[in-house]
Structure 1
C-alpha cells in the first residue's frame, strides 16, 4: 500500500569531532534512488497531530527539517505520495525519506524536507505580544504566495485539508512562504466520500462543520480566507470552542446562510435557521480597505461553488501592489520569486495571465484599467 520499501533501514552511529552522527540509507523523493545519508539532530522544531519535527544538519553544513511519522503498513501513507508529486516554490519540498524502527520495534517514516526559520503562527503570536500590526506589505506578500501554493495543489486536484498559520512556513528575512504538513492532504475525486472531521476547527469550512462528506478543494479556499483575516486581527476570525459554537461564530459575523446556501453546504441539513444579519466586516477587521475586504468576502463565501478560486484571487486588485515595477522588500532586498509561472499554472485561467504577469515581463501591455476591464468582460461572457 505504501510508496516506499517497507523494509526498515538499519541506522549506524558514528562519533566525529565530538558529535554523534547517524548514517542511514535514504531514497531520493523524485528519482527513488537509494543513497547513504549522514546527519545529526540539532534540536526539536515542533510537534503536530501526526508527527514530530526536528532540525538536522549534514557534515557539509546543509540543514533540513526531519519529520517523524508513525507508520502502519496496512494503510497508505498519503503524505509521502503527495509530497513526491508536489514541485512548487510555495510548497515544502521533500528531499529524502526512509523507514525506521525504534528500540521498541515501532515503525516510523522519516521525511527530510526544506527547513524554514519560523511559521506564520509564530509571526502572528510575536506581533500580538508586541501589540504591533503585521505590515500590510507582508500581508499582501504572504497571502499572494499562499494563494499561489494552494492554487498549484488544486490544479493537481489535491486538497491540503489543514491550512492554518502553524502549517505555513515563513522566511521573514527573504519574504518567502511555503505550505507544509501534508499529513491530511488528499487527491479528491468528484462524488467520492471523504471524512468531514478534518481541518483545524478555526479554519474549518462550514460544509465540514455540518458533516458533509462530499466536498471539493474549496474547503482550502475558506481556510485561506480565515488566515487572511487573522493576519489583520492577530487572532482567528471565527473562535468557537466546539463545532456548534464555530458555526454560530461564523453566522454571527457573516449572517445566516440562505436556504439555497444551506442546500449547497449540506443537502440533508435543516434549511430554516433563525435569521441573523451579518455584522460589518469592515468594523470587525482592523486596517482593512475596500480591496482587502472585497477579496476576503470572495474567499469566505458560504456556497463552495461561489468561493473565488485561489488562482483567480491572485489577480485581485488588492495584490496589484506586488506587480509594481521595481518593487523590493522594505530592507531593499529582492522579492522572492513571484512570477516564475509554469505553463501548467498559466493554463488555469489564461484570461487572467495579462493581469498576473507584471507589465515589464509582458510588454507591450495595455494600461491596468483596460486590462482588468478586458478580463472582467471575458468572465461575464464565460458565465
Structure 2
C-alpha cells in the first residue's frame, strides 16, 4: 500500500509504502517502460548484493488507462538522506560534523570499488550523498572523453573554493588524488579508502555525534580485495576488525 511520494524525477516516481502482510516499510520505484529504449534496471538490481546498495525485494508491472506499462521495483526503504541531514544543520546555523562527511564519502567510494564494472547509472545508493560533485566526475569521465582537463579543473576548483581554509589538509590530499588528470596517477577506490582522511573511521574508539557506533565499514568480500597489495589490505582493515575478515575467508 503506497503511503506517500518520497522522490520523483525523469526516471520515475518513488513511493514510501507498507507491505500489508508483514507491516514492513518499503520503497516502490515506478518507472515507465518506454518501448523505444531497453531498460536494464531490473536485470541490474537483481545482480546487486552490497551493504551500500538498497536491496530488491520484489517487482511487478502495472498499466494505466492509457495502456502505459510501468515497472514497479519494491526496494529496501531508507528513510534518511544526506540532503535532509545538511538542512537540519543549516537550520541550526551549524556545519555538518566532519565525521559524517568522512562516513558518507567512505561508503560511496567503498561502493565504487565493488561495482566498478557494473552500469552504475541504474544503481540506487543507500548514501545519496552531497559529494555528487565527485560522483558526477566519475560519470562524466567515463562517458565524455573530450574536455577532461577542463572538467577536472572545474570540479577541483569547486571543491576547494567551497571549503578553502576550512578544508582539512587530509581532505585536500584525498580530493587531489581523486581528480588527477592521468589515470596512472589517479587513486583507485581502495587506495582512496586508505588515505589519512579516513583514519578516524578505523579508530575503534570513535563514535558518531549521537554516541552510536559506525555501520559496518570493513565487511569486504574476498573478490573486492582480489589482487590488492597486502600493504593496502593491512591498512584498509584495522586490527580490531580482522577477526571478522577471517570469518569471511580473507
Give TM class, smaller chain. Answer: 0.7 to 0.9
Structure 2 CA distance, aligned partners of 1:150 and 1:91?
A: 11
Runs of 4+ in 1 over 6 A off after TM superposition: none
> How far apart are 1:204 and its partner, in Å?
4.0
> How far apart are 1:330 and its partner, in Å?
2.7
> How far apart are 1:287 and its partner, in Å?
2.4
CA contact (8 A) 1:65 1:115 kept: yes
SS of corresponding position for 1:43: strand
- C-alpha distance after superposition, 1:146-173 (max 9, x if no partner): 111121111xx1242489xxx654xxxx
SS of corresponding position for 2:115: helix
> How far apart are 1:74 and its partner, in Å?
5.2
Structure 2 CA distance, aligned partners of 1:95 and 1:64?
A: 9
Structure 1 CA distance, aligned partners of 2:162 and 2:67?
A: 56
SS of corresponding position for 1:67: strand
CA contact (8 A) 1:67 1:112 kept: yes
In structure 2, the residue matched to 1:75 is: 37
SS of corresponding position for 2:166: coil
Structure 1 CA distance, aligned partners of 2:58 and 2:181?
A: 40
SS of corresponding position for 1:362: helix
In structure 1, the residue matched to 2:96 is: 134
In structure 2, the residue matched to 1:147 is: 109
CA contact (8 A) 1:121 1:168 kept: no
CA RMSD across the alignment: 3.4
* Higher percent of residues as helix: 2
> 1:44/1:252 Cα in 2 relative to 1: closer, same or farther (>3 Å)?
closer
> 1:347/1:207 Cα in 2 relative to 1: closer, same or farther (>3 Å)?
closer
CA contact (8 A) 1:92 1:178 kept: no
> 1:296/1:248 Cα in 2 relative to 1: closer, same or farther (>3 Å)?
closer
Is the aligned partner of 1:98 residue 2:2?
no
Q: Which runs of 5+ in 2 are unaligned?
A: 244-250
Structure 2 CA distance, aligned partners of 1:55 and 1:337?
A: 25
Is the aligned partner of 1:47 residue 2:8?
yes
Is the aligned partner of 1:329 residue 2:208?
yes
SS of corresponding position for 2:213: coil
Is the aligned partner of 1:116 residue 2:78?
yes
Q: Which of the pair has more CA radius of gyration?
A: 1
In structure 2, the residue matched to 1:158 is: 118
> 1:346/1:201 Cα in 2 relative to 1: closer, same or farther (>3 Å)?
closer
Structure 1 CA distance, aligned partners of 2:43 and 2:186?
A: 28
SS of corresponding position for 2:49: coil
Higher RCO by CA contacts (8 Å cutoff, separation 6 or greater): 2
Is the aligned partner of 1:253 residue 2:213?
no
Q: TM-score, normalised by structure 1?
A: 0.54
> 1:202/1:129 Cα in 2 relative to 1: closer, same or farther (>3 Å)?
farther
Q: TM-score, normalised by structure 2?
A: 0.80
Structure 2 CA distance, aligned partners of 1:120 and 1:69?
A: 24
